[in-house]
Structure 1
Amino acid sequence: MNSSQQWSTRTFGNEDRLPRVPLPTLEDTCARFLTWCSPLLTPEQLATTEAAVTDYLAADSPARVLHADLERFNDAPGTRSWLDVFWPSRYLGRRDRIALNANFFFLFRDTDEDQFQRAAGLITAAVDFKLLLDKEEVPPVIQRGQALSMEQNKFLFSETRIPGAEQDTVRVPYTDEWPGPSAARHVVVFNRGSMFRMDVIGPDGAPYSLSDLEGGLRAVVKAGADGTAPDRTVGSLTTQARAEWARTRGRLIALDPANAAAVDTIETALFCVNLESFAPADTQAACDQLLHGDSGNRYFDKAVSLIVFADGRAGINIEHCGLDGTTILSFVDAMLGETAEAHAERAGARPQGLPAVDPIEFVLDDALRADIATARRAFAEYAAATATRTVSFTDFGTARAKALKMSPDAFAQLAYQLAHKRSKGITGATYESIATRQYQNGRTEAMRVVTPEVLAFVEAMGDPAVSAADKRAAFRTAAEAHVARAKQCQNGQAPEQHLWELQLIQKRRGAELGATAPLALYDTPGWTVMRDDYLSTSSAPSTNIQYFGFGSTSPTCIGVAYVLLPDRFNLYLSTPAAVAEEMNTFVTELRGAVTELQDLLASE
């Protein structure tokens, strides 16, 4: 953009002016692929992978046909990104349960409000944001002079993921099927497994006052005091594997017209508010409840669920298909950055009496009740089979890293590598999510953290014969390589999603394109080892949250969600319970690594 041009102040006013995600050539992608996977491979594995890459790049390779088709799609009118089909396929195509496996959470900073005050304040703040969004008055995010895509904000309100037999779909505003912003005026409030429709915006478009909302929430808790029987909590069905839930949802809707109406009420609601009847024992318990909770008091297919505990602690659970962490951080910062009273005033909230509160009831037969009970039990067992851990460093943060002349993210990631090697004896594949919202429809890029410089750093740190000066040099060299690779990802210069989308095109259209011959690259050690995560990492910096978290992504993986702020460094870890001891050893080693690396740099 010319320096004489100004970015639009309308929320979606810059979308067409953003640059496009660059589509790499096959040669560039394959060269990067070999560079990225090689540190994780034996010489024999690398040779096998190199041979497959040579075949992949051959003039008569199906990969050439697939890439040409991707170029055609990228150049077609209406395409904003060559990843426009990839993202729905990646998120909506997964067939396992999304609860705990895909949804993520934030634990908000604490206040001194009680449950009803906190919930009413969060509803008011969210409605204020929604009304601003409707008018395109939410300021677009500008980062280092570059506007970021705001398209994901269209998934915040009234979005619901709909299960499908082969791939899910999305019911969402701002589409041909549902033009413009949602006109819904209600939310769904959960209490002890019971669901209630509650209006949060009055008939004339003015939001209800804070005291009105508190009254409505109290009415919900009173009406749902007895709770719902464990075989009648329909929300539990959203924990099923997607194809199974699609079948169950079809039977649920077909059983009685009342069920179709109830489902419609949930799916069109602006968001969910989940009131819990208990206070979590500690911070980790709060995080665990935000990640999975009691499935009877959740509806995991809704984009946004605001969860408020009996003691006023609160957080958010997010359905991931249209929303990434950076968008939710902006939303949360907008909600929590001002008082509830300020939000109410700007939104034009006013007293209107008790808002309409109506129970959402389903007609269930024996088979559906059995399905609910089974789903609820299976998910409780699945959650119990996931080990989690919160870790907090109060003596380290971005300010300390910068004082030591070190990239804070590089410091954290290299500490993870050192701790992992010391705890497990190996350097394993590590994923880090890198935001790319500076592009049209930009979301994230998959960064692979392990570089030759990381291996040299870890080896140097484990060798008593290496001097402190040489360890320090290895640390800084590895950090520089980390920052350089992150910039490559930010610039769309990463191999994994390109290769993955070509694989998906072959599955979708290979026969039509005459490109059905197997591509050995996808069976090579380079492809499989590089993507078999031992650490899956993502950061979410905001002073308005305490913790951020998600479930583990594989049987050997530790999920590492971290909040890196000027004065602190908080992590939420998750892994299968069968390898919980390895996670706990990792934590012990991480504590030592953070201290050791600070001391190493401080002695310079």
Structure 2
Amino acid sequence: MAEAHQAVGFQFTVRPDGVDVKLSQEVIKNIYLSGVTAWEKRAIQFKNGILTGVYPASPSSWLIVVITMMSSLYICIDPSLGMIDTIKDNLPHSFYVFYWTYRSVLSAILFATGLWLFLIYLLRYTLKALLSYHGWIFESHGKMSTSTKVWLSLVKMFSGRRPLLYSFQASLPRLPVPSVDDTIHRYLESVRPLLDSEQYNQMEILATDFKNSKAAQLQRYLILKSWWGTNYVSDWWEEYIYLRGRSPIMVNSNFYIMDLLYLTPTHRQAARAGNVVHAMLKYRRKLERGELAPLRALGTVPMCSTQMERIFNTTRIPGIETGKKNCSDTVQHLTDRKHLVVYHKGRFFQVWLYTGGRHLLPSELETQFQRILNDTSEPQLAELKLAALTAGNRVPWARARVKYFSQGGNKVSLDAIESAAFFLTLDDEPQGYDPANTKSLDSYAKSLLHGKCYDRWFDKSFTLISYPNGKMGVNAEHSWADAPIVGHMWEYVLATDCFHLGYTEEGHCKGDVNKGLPHPTRLQWQIPKECQDVIETSYLSAKQIADDVDFHGYLFTEFGKGLIKKCRSSPDAFIQLALQLAQFRDQGVFCLTYESSMTRMFRDGRTETVRSCTSEAVAFVRAMEDAGATRLALFRKAADKHQHMYRLAMTGSGIDRHLFCLYIVSKYLGVDSPFLKKVLSEPWKLSTSQTPQQQLNLVDINKFPKYVGAGGGFGPVADDGYGVSYIIVGENLITFHISSKFSSPDTVRARRAMHRFMCIPFMLTLFLSIMNKGNKLTD
């Protein structure tokens, strides 16, 4: 064991003539290096904290202001208009001659410091005012007005130089609360194509009654919350949408991200895991020190970085009802944890990530992971399926955690998992994309999303999954952050793995092999019979969910965003309209459609909903079914409407988050609203999301076209609906991840529905022919 290995570094023996103490020089060296590293880390965090705290100014600017003020006093000019003399007169008296001699200097320094702080806040609030302008986002692509060019220049001027990850946080505007009239108007417009005249009139009556009676009271509380909190949506969204859910988070909430599509850097499982884990540790170090560059739209407009704080050392803790208190999970985020927990063939291992005050090198991590792979010991009693507790219903897991894992060895082992940097599974079945196997992406997706239901710790912020053929993937818990946050981290990791760390010709990690490291430590469990029953029940519940989920992955390579843009269309609107046509041809009806957009241009922003099934989209789809209809004009109109709604959602004028928060306020106040109940109960039968790639620009995919990822996906939101994730990769590739349930008769046992969704490429090609015809001739 690691503890026993380290204990031999310090020994002492009591003798009649005294105490004989023996110290290991190696241990003393490691202690010294660990201390040096810890103090270096604190110093860097302190320095970066100051740089972030005074941004967009810099600490050196304080010295410039002080020198300028002192120089002005030297030439008998008082730019403070008498304020320095006032400060000097009001300083406390002192008997020290030194103090009285230099009180003018001290007064000037105090005034200069106050002036400097005032200028910082002036710059910060000026930048916040500039960032509150969103007119640029509503302009046509490729066309920028003079006013926007001036605004963009001002943002660049006030943004300072070389910002750190959290430099812009204090300058980001708050998410605005839309007016009730605007939200209700947009809502009614969004449901008009989905309801017949009688249903729509009934909804209109409910909406009017709500607007005239209860809306003003609820809106006042919401505006008060927006003034008091940094974001009026995000905390309630995290709690009520994610943490209060009692159903399994596996499939229903967690999502996955795949590895590189066409390449596998090495086929050695331990080596690939070693490089990837080391790259993650490098990313975590940059994250903890705030050294990552903030993501910026147009290269200038900053995005909120709050969600990135909880990527590592974060676990969702199951909640249990206590009296009248509602049951809710919590998100536990720790700092400075230096170990990893690895699962392999039913055993849990603890691996230390540091030695001598530094990260383990990739070759050292490879050694540790290979030791685990070579370990032939058997799982302890009930250890094999232990992680199924995190895959089943939340209440049984919460009760079992309190009863069986709150003391003794079980508590120590569970604490090791929940405090680990992240969770790693060394899987024993190869996965990945195989061009010769049309179902390879389907199997890969299901493995990442749920695996065997007991070989991923679904409560961890993310589980890293390593396959025997060298492929990797990620399963991420959703409450703490959204998919782009994990996607940014994954882009950094893959680029670092392939272009900075690399492998030897034999496929091993580069660097010397250190066999002197203490071996990974087995976590110890004592699982009583009652707990074993809970584990088995959770496993069976999770397996039923996993077996019911069907996936289909498809790579569309006919064309991509390059050709779509040449046709003067937004790629996202293009694909959304294709999905509407696919849905209609599959089901024969239109349905409420969810598309996720981000609100990270605001402080603590997360997501907003774009309701893609518009009246314009419906008109276009019906025209596609009518050979004599005018199609191109309807397509243009529908695409423009979709883009406008997407922009409204991004700029804080969406529909669903506002109505959601009004509903939460109504529940707190005990106000009954049939309108809000009706809105919040509507099912999203078609749930879609686009995860952008190459946001960090770490890899030139034009130069390295094979270094592209396959993106990721999620399970269906509705039992009788579809979950569709699509990723626009480069100029000539679009990947689709489509999920549904076998048990739903509406999707015709899913498999036939998946084949119907295979007509997406056909429809995209049809769109292209229509637009080309329209561009050349007429509709």
Shared fold, TM over 0.5: yes
Using the alignment, how far apart are the partners of 1:447 and 1:42 within structure 2? 22
Q: Deviations over 1:28-76 (max 9, x none)?
A: 2212211122221111111111111111112x42x33322222222212
| Residue aligned with 2:537, SS | helix
| Residue aligned with 2:349, SS | strand
Shift in Å, 1:569? 1.0
1:119 match: 273
Q: 1:270 pairs with 421, 438, 451, which one?
A: 421
1:24 match: 178
Q: 1:363 pairs with 506, 526, 532, which one?
A: 526
Q: 2:477 pairs with 319, 341, 364, which one?
A: 319
Relative to the length of structure 1, the TM-score reads 0.91
Native 8 Å contact 1:142 1:148 kept in 2: yes
Relative to the length of structure 2, the TM-score reads 0.71
| Residue aligned with 1:426, SS | coil
1:12 match: 166
Using the alignment, how far apart are the partners of 1:494 and 1:541 within structure 2? 20
Shift in Å, 1:87? 2.7
Q: 2:497 pairs with 339, 348, 358, which one?
A: 339
Shift in Å, 1:542? 2.3
Q: 2:763 pairs with 574, 590, 593, which one?
A: 593
2:368 match: 216
Using the alignment, how far apart are the partners of 1:239 and 1:486 within structure 2? 34
Q: Deviations over 1:398-447 (max 9, x none)?
A: 11211222111111110011111111111111100001111100111011
1:457 match: 620
Structure-2 change in CA distance of 1:397 and 1:340 (3 Å): closer
Shift in Å, 1:123? 0.2
1:261 match: 412
Unaligned runs of 5+ in 2: 1-126, 128-153, 321-326, 433-439, 504-510, 695-707, 775-779
More deviation, 585-594/496-505: 585-594
- Which has the greater radius of gyration? 2
2:302 match: 147
Structure-2 change in CA distance of 1:506 and 1:356 (3 Å): farther
Native 8 Å contact 1:124 1:343 kept in 2: no
Q: Deviations over 1:154-183 (max 9, x none)?
A: 11110000011211101013xxxxxxxx21
1:546 match: 710
1:176 match: none
Kindly indicate whether residue 776 of structure 2 is the aligned counterpart of residue 603 of structure 1.
Answer: no
Q: 1:477 pairs with 627, 637, 642, which one?
A: 637
Kindly indicate whether residue 196 of structure 2 is the aligned counterpart of residue 45 of structure 1.
Answer: no
Native 8 Å contact 2:393 2:538 kept in 1: no
Native 8 Å contact 1:432 1:536 kept in 2: yes
Q: 2:552 pairs with 389, 413, 434, which one?
A: 389
Shift in Å, 1:79? 3.1
Q: 2:238 pairs with 81, 87, 95, which one?
A: 87
More deviation, 87-96/438-447: 87-96
Using the alignment, how far apart are the partners of 1:420 and 1:136 within structure 2? 44
Using the alignment, how far apart are the partners of 2:711 and 2:499 within structure 1? 25
Q: Deviations over 1:311-349 (max 9, x none)?
A: 01111111111121111121111111233683699xxx9
Structure-2 change in CA distance of 1:228 and 1:463 (3 Å): farther
Q: Deviations over 1:361-398 (max 9, x none)?
A: 22110011111122222212221111111111111211
Query: Structure 2 counterpart of 1:70, which letter?
Result: L
Structure-2 change in CA distance of 1:523 and 1:184 (3 Å): closer
Query: Structure 2 counterpart of 1:157, which letter?
Result: F
Query: Structure 2 counterpart of 1:141, which letter?
Result: L
1:504 match: 664
Shift in Å, 1:356? 4.8
Using the alignment, how far apart are the partners of 2:518 and 2:197 within structure 1? 68
Using the alignment, how far apart are the partners of 2:622 and 2:172 within structure 1? 43
1:108 match: 259
Aligned 1:366-445 pairs, distance under 5 A: 366-445=529-608
Q: 2:316 pairs with 161, 169, 189, which one?
A: 161
| Residue aligned with 2:710, SS | strand
Q: Deviations over 1:439-467 (max 9, x none)?
A: 1001110111011110110111111222x
Shift in Å, 1:473? 1.2
2:727 match: 563
Native 8 Å contact 1:230 1:373 kept in 2: no
Using the alignment, how far apart are the partners of 1:40 and 1:258 within structure 2? 56
Shift in Å, 1:582? 4.9
| Residue aligned with 2:424, SS | strand
Native 8 Å contact 2:586 2:756 kept in 1: yes
Native 8 Å contact 2:381 2:527 kept in 1: no
Query: Structure 2 counterpart of 1:520, which letter?
Result: P
Shift in Å, 1:224? 5.3
**How many residue pairs are counted as aligned between the two chains?**
577
Structure-2 change in CA distance of 1:318 and 1:488 (3 Å): same
Query: Structure 1 counterpart of 2:245, which letter?
Result: R
Query: Structure 2 counterpart of 1:245, which letter?
Result: W
Using the alignment, how far apart are the partners of 1:383 and 1:395 within structure 2? 32
Using the alignment, how far apart are the partners of 1:445 and 1:570 within structure 2? 23
Native 8 Å contact 2:723 2:739 kept in 1: yes
Native 8 Å contact 2:715 2:739 kept in 1: yes
Aligned 1:173-188 pairs, distance under 5 A: 173=334, 182-188=335-341
Using the alignment, how far apart are the partners of 1:338 and 1:83 within structure 2? 32
Structure-2 change in CA distance of 1:588 and 1:330 (3 Å): closer
Using the alignment, how far apart are the partners of 1:581 and 1:293 within structure 2? 20
| Residue aligned with 2:460, SS | coil
Structure with larger RCO (C-alpha < 8 A, sep 6+): 1
Kindly indicate whether residue 310 of structure 2 is the aligned counterpart of residue 310 of structure 1.
Answer: no
Percentage identity across paired residues of the two chains: 27
Structure-2 change in CA distance of 1:284 and 1:248 (3 Å): same
| Residue aligned with 2:164, SS | coil
More deviation, 182-191/7-16: 7-16
Q: 1:170 pairs with 328, 331, 334, which one?
A: 331
2:8 match: none
1:513 match: none
Using the alignment, how far apart are the partners of 1:250 and 1:464 within structure 2? 64
| Residue aligned with 2:404, SS | helix
Shift in Å, 1:24? 1.1
Structure-2 change in CA distance of 1:230 and 1:574 (3 Å): farther
Native 8 Å contact 2:430 2:469 kept in 1: yes
Shift in Å, 1:129? 0.3
Q: Deviations over 1:444-496 (max 9, x none)?
A: 10111011110110111111222xxx211111111111111100101111121
Native 8 Å contact 2:234 2:606 kept in 1: no
Query: Structure 1 counterpart of 2:662, which letter?
Result: L
1:290 match: 448
Native 8 Å contact 2:174 2:226 kept in 1: no
Unaligned runs of 5+ in 1: 174-181, 511-515
Using the alignment, how far apart are the partners of 1:219 and 1:482 within structure 2? 53
